[in-house]
Chain A
Amino acid sequence: DGGITQSPKYLFRKEGQNVTLSCEQNLNHDAMYWYRQDPGQGLRLIYYSQIVNDFQKGDIAEGYSVSREKKESFPLTVTSAQKNPTAFYLCASSIVGPTDTQYFGPGTRLTVL
């Protein structure tokens, strides 16, 4: 489980505010991913990046933004444009791409008040 961390564990936000979730890995992995998990649902891909300074939209990118300025870091910003931001957010990384084992962080639970 070690090697990929997320912070904070719990995050509360008022409506209309942007918030940034941190994801850091020391596994020297090229690829990083952000997923959203809602109760009783699977993991839905928000954004992914396979190389520094490059990233692609996943299936539910609207209302989210990312950056990949460093190999080890892939922060996710939840903007005020995201209509239903309350969810559990998981970050993951893999050696090169999606057909390699993905290692997940512990997650951040975001609640909009």
Chain B
Amino acid sequence: GENVEQHPSTLSVQEGDSAVIKCTYSDSASNYFPWYKQELGKRPQLIIDIRSNVGEKKDQRIAVTLNKTAKHFSLHITETQPEDSAVYFCAAPTGAAGNKLTFGGGTRVLVKP
């Protein structure tokens, strides 16, 4: 079936180190790959997204890379800070004509000071 796999499920890093989260998708027609951040007790918010016509996109300390051949995309957070501690979700369009968004299982990131 159409699904989005996300790894790891938990990630603990030391402040200042980098964090990488990887997602794989099965629908080769998917062309939009967003990442959402959900802080404890808050609603998910979009932090970055990438479309299939580019391989990488950066926004300050976060970046997303896309490998369409291998059907995977990754979130990179550099120089991690305590406020980066949250649950991160990847997503990709699935279903007929990509008319729904399927989310990965989430990665709980803990940045230790």
Per-position contact with A for B54-89: 1 when CB-CB < 8 Å, else 0?
Answer: 000000000000000000000000000000000001
Residue of A40, A44, A90, A102 touching B46 (CB-CB under 8 A): A102
Report how many residues on chain B are interfacial, defined by Cβ distance under 8 Å.
Answer: 23
Per-position contact with B for A24-46: 1 when CB-CB < 8 Å, else 0?
Answer: 00000000010100001111110
**Chain A: interface residue count, which band?**
20 to 34
Q: Which B residues from 23 to 38 make CB contacts under 8 A with A?
A: 31-32, 34, 36
CB distance from A108 to the nearest CB of B (A): 11
28 contacting pairs across A/B (C-beta < 8 A): A33-B101, A35-B103, A40-B9, A41-B106, A42-B89, A42-B103, A42-B104, A43-B44, A43-B89, A43-B103, A44-B103, A50-B99, A56-B99, A58-B100, A59-B100, A59-B102, A90-B44, A98-B98, A98-B99, A98-B100, A98-B101, A99-B31, A102-B46, A104-B43, A104-B44, A105-B43, A106-B43, A107-B43
Interface of B toward A, CB cutoff 8 Å: 6, 9, 31-32, 34, 36, 42-46, 49, 89, 93, 98-106
Please list the 7 inter-chain residue pairs (A to B) with the smallest Cβ-Cβ separation, ordered nearest first.
A104-B43, A98-B101, A99-B32, A43-B103, A42-B103, A42-B105, A101-B46
